Amino acid sequence: MSCFDAAINCGADAVYLGLSDFNARRKAENFTADSLRSCVRKAHFYGVKVYITVNTLVKDSEISSLLSTVRAAVEAKADAFIVQDLGVATLLKRAFPNIVLHASTQLGVHNLYGALQAEKFGFTRVVLSRETKLADIREIRRNTNLEIEYFVQGALCVAFSGNCYLSAAERGASGNRGLCRQLCRLPYTAKIDGYTKSGYMLSARDLCLADSLRELKDAGVTSFKIEGRMRREGYVARAVSVYRGLLDGLESGAKLTKDDRERLQLAYSRGDSYLERAYLDNGTPSVIDRVYNNHTGISVGEVKDVKPFKSDLYKVTLFSSRTLNVGDGLKFFDKDNKEVASVGLGDVKPLGKDTYSFVTKSRLQAGWKTRLISSEIQEKELQATKREVYIDLEIEAQVGKPLSITACCDVDGKRVTVSECGGVCERAKTSPTSDDDIRAQAVKTSNSGFTVRNCSVKTDVVFIPKSAINALRRSVLDRLCEEVVAKREAHCARVDELAIRRIQEESVADCADNIGLRFIHSDDDMKDVKQGEKLVLCPSEYTVREVERMLSNLGVSAKDIALQLPIIANGKDIVVIEKLLASMPDVRTLVSENIYGFKFAGDGYEVISGAGHNVLNRYAVSACRKFGAAAVLPSIEREECISSNELPLMTFAHCPYKTVYGNDCAHCSYKQGMELLRDGRRYAVRRTRISQCYFGIYPL
């Protein structure tokens, strides 16, 4: 709740949040159905929308519970629902008329074809995958009526659009069902031909697109999203306040200042730099920070001296380029940049220029690098920020007439006015109540959320008790609050009792298909192919030459196989894929792993909905069939422990070879055979080349 308030107070236009179930951050301190109405009401009072995350995969056995959860949010007047599961989207449209659905980033919309399918399905907004190119954002804007939401700040999932199966495979804890164990943040060793490199090989740096807001807005982005449902209040407040200022100043050329950049890093960052372009441009970027996997703040200096103080305490002398204050947080790193200690400053004393001392139980060492990870002054500054709703008051207090107060405010460009009358005003026997006396009581809005901007008073020789003014003011403001909230909730979805009852009573017979496909990624997969097996080619390069080579080695013709459409394909990749298909007209069956693949069903291809669509319930099966799928494969997450060759456990739009060798694309260092090792586990890294490179990891 403190983060919710911080987002509102610091200028958010909307807040997205999860309830206890069916959201991708089930380990967060989520909201309850009981508390939700007061939260939504508060947000609507301030003109802030509330979006509920229902963005996990849902099993058939959970449908009744899902409907109850969403019903509570609908009755609480939530503005929209963020959904990944197409079956869930189908149900919500049936059960809750007028419901507004946003396609979750986990649906993986990242190109025009995918956006067109999402629009066709009834989504009004797409939260694009973080891998979406700037050129594709422009295409989506030009060719659809969708609102476009894009992540601009926060943690970056290393797997394409958060579609990761690693946690489920290793721990039986599905990231797609809100239980990710963040195994990407652990250390790995990369091994290639005997060469090894260790570190946080899968830990992506944090995103910061603050300097790209103008481009994003011009491209068509209408909602700028800050990740942070498991972050503390100070981070939420700082990130929102910085982006609020930048967006408000876009027309005047506002840019991220050095101070604001440092404030963002102090709120939360991994290492010394953010991803400031991430995937927006052409090519395959480098996004990994091998050294740091957690909050590191900003570098301020190093430990100069450590001496025993009392019993188990040590007196530390520290050089710091920044002023240190009581309540600040510090982290310490050894000469190998390994995090070794964290200290909260309960007491700190300046010893001269840039030198401080403090006492701690932590046994620090001279030479350790020091980073500031929280600032007490900055936290207090943010906590003092309050959002205001400005109103105008008109007060009339004349002898023989009722005391009246009229309050007005603007609600989404329209004027809302409320008037109330109190008791009849009496002539003053001695000292009349002055205009200033009346005004002084009327502007005491206390905790109402209103702030009086103008207050006009019309009075004569009357006497009015302060209590009468206060009581009437409270009544008027209460009514105005109700009017404001009601205006902003007129559009909200409603509950269709009959539809819910039908859903709960019906028996859906539409099951996923078990057609026994054999996925061929490499020559090794061809070794034990049996005659008559249904083969799906997953080429390492989407070229005629490579597909024909695979066909020749398998001894089959193009009409006898299916071609897998990659789970990620930007606009330039689509051109390559369509050119390949045009050159091989005998290929008529495609296995789609992403919503964009359904577009090809309309082009006359037989499209099989692959495991990448994460179909986990029968309603999702029906949804895929309506899109044109000839067959629907279930999600590989149907099992508690995943073991499959259909899909990689992760797909990367960045280059792991750049992480290992530090090269750029002009000096490509790609070699087959990269492995990632951790705790006795081995994963193969395979490359797919379309217009650019993508990579996936598979268990060995």
Distance (Å, whole) CA 138 – CA 142 = 6
Contact 350, 356 (CB under 8 A): yes
pLDDT above 90 (res 142): yes
pLDDT digits (tens, 9 = 90+) for 22-48: 776 656 667 787 889 999 999 999 999
pLDDT for 383 equals 83
Distance (Å, whole) CA 616 – CA 624 = 12
Residue showing tokens 């649906």: 107
Cα 588 to the center of its chain, rounded Å = 37
Q: Of 80 and 272, which is predicted with more confidence?
A: 80
For residue 192, what are its two tokens?
Answer: 């290639």
Contact 148, 166 (CB under 8 A): no
Distance (Å, whole) CA 571 – CA 575 = 7
pLDDT digits (tens, 9 = 90+) for 145-167: 999 999 999 998 999 987 899 99
Q: Select from 579, 585, 588, 591 the least CA-distant residue to 543.
A: 579
pLDDT for 133 equals 98
Could you give the domains of the chain? 2-172+205-267 (3.20.20.70), 298-383 (2.40.30), 389-488 (3.30.420), 517-633 (no CATH)
Cα 198 to the center of its chain, rounded Å = 29
pLDDT digits (tens, 9 = 90+) for 577-632: 999 999 999 999 999 999 999 999 999 999 999 999 999 999 999 999 999 999 99
Contact 631, 513 (CB under 8 A): yes
The gap between the terminal CA atoms of the chain, to the nearest Å, is 44
Mean pLDDT of the region 48-75: 93
Cα 280 to the center of its chain, rounded Å = 17
Per-residue confidence at 466, pLDDT binned at 50, 70, 90? very high
Distance (Å, whole) CA 132 – CA 114 = 11
Percent of the chain with pLDDT over 70: 98
Burial of residue 47, with CB atoms counted within 10 A of its CB: 0-12 exposed, 13-18 middle, 19 or more buried: middle
Q: Select from 497, 394, 398, 392 the least CA-distant residue to 450.
A: 392
Beta bridge mates, 455: 393
pLDDT for 19 equals 85
Contact 627, 598 (CB under 8 A): yes
Helix, strand, coil distribution of the chain in percent, nearest 5: 35, 25, 40
pLDDT above 70 (res 644): no
What residues contact residue 271 under an 8 Å CB cut-off, 6+ apart? 205, 289, 291, 292, 296
Distance (Å, whole) CA 478 – CA 490 = 19
Distance (Å, whole) CA 658 – CA 456 = 67
DSSP string of 16-38, one letter each residue = EEEBSSSSTTTTS--B-HHHHHH
pLDDT digits (tens, 9 = 90+) for 327-380: 999 999 999 999 999 999 999 999 989 999 999 999 999 999 999 999 999 888
Beta bridge mates, 452: 391
pLDDT above 60 (res 641): no
User: Which residue type occupies 686?
Assistant: R
Mean pLDDT of the region 131-137: 98
CA dihedral 661, 664, 666, 668 (to 10 degrees): 30
pLDDT for 152 equals 97
CA angle 151, 152, 154 (to 5 degrees): 85
pLDDT digits (tens, 9 = 90+) for 531-588: 888 999 999 999 999 999 999 999 999 999 999 999 999 999 999 999 999 999 999 9
Strand segments (E) across 375-495: 389-397, 402-411, 414-424, 426-427, 450-459, 462-463
